[in-house]
């Protein structure tokens, strides 16, 4: 989790401002989410498992592969094809692959105000939900920066 914590720490201000995390929590998001989930009651964990038609261990394997891709792709500089592929893979994994299967149930079952509840709610509602729907239905495009996408029809 430390590797993910370091990656997410780069977004500390946004995690506080947009997600509503406390500054001390924003530097260890992955660790705290894992702990929040680990200490959920068994019924909540069963509900999370039941929400996913894909076994959670298969989703975990996909996330490990995604992290390996992310680590590799950030090491490749000045390659627009790699940059664009990274954006598509990241958007799919983060906003489509995990949303219905995990984020909504975690947002509902995690302890109110916990890092897991705040992050899951943020990732399944509002502008992020709108982008997820646009991405899922091919209603988005790259903006002038290939690292940002623009939702069409909004």
Query: Is residue 151 over pLDDT 90?
Result: no
Instruction: For 17-26, write each residue's pLDDT tens digit.
Output: 999 999 999 9
Number of other residues whose CB lies within 10 A of the CB of residue 11: 14
pTM of the model: 0.81
Task: Give me the percent of the chain exceeding a pLDDT of 70.
Answer: 93
Instruction: For 40-58, write each residue's pLDDT tens digit.
Output: 999 999 998 898 888 989 9
Instruction: For 76-90, write each residue's pLDDT tens digit.
Output: 998 988 988 998 998
If you search the block for the tokens 């983060």, which residue do you land on? 94
Gap between the Cα atoms of 71 and 75, Å rounded: 7
Q: Average pLDDT over the chain, rounded to whole?
A: 88
Gap between the Cα atoms of 86 and 74, Å rounded: 9
Gap between the Cα atoms of 88 and 100, Å rounded: 18
Gap between the Cα atoms of 103 and 19, Å rounded: 14
């Amino acid at each position: 989790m430390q590797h993910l914590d370091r990656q997410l720490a780069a977004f500390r201000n946004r995690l506080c401002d947009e997600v509503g995390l406390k500054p001390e929590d924003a530097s260890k998001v992955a660790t705290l989410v894992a702990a929040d989930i680990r200490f959920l009651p068994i019924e909540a964990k069963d509900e999370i498992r039941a929400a996913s038609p894909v076994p959670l261990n298969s989703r975990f394997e996909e996330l490990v592969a995604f992290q390996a891709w992310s680590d590799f792709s950030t090491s490749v500089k000045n390659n627009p094809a790699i940059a664009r592929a990274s954006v598509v893979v990241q958007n799919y994994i983060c906003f489509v692959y995990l949303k219905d299967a995990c984020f909504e149930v975690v947002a509902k079952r995690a302890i109110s105000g916990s890092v897991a509840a705040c992050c899951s709610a943020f990732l399944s509602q509002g502008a992020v939900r709108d982008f997820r729907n646009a991405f899922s239905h091919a209603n988005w495009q790259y903006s002038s920066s290939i690292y940002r996408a623009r939702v069409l029809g909004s």
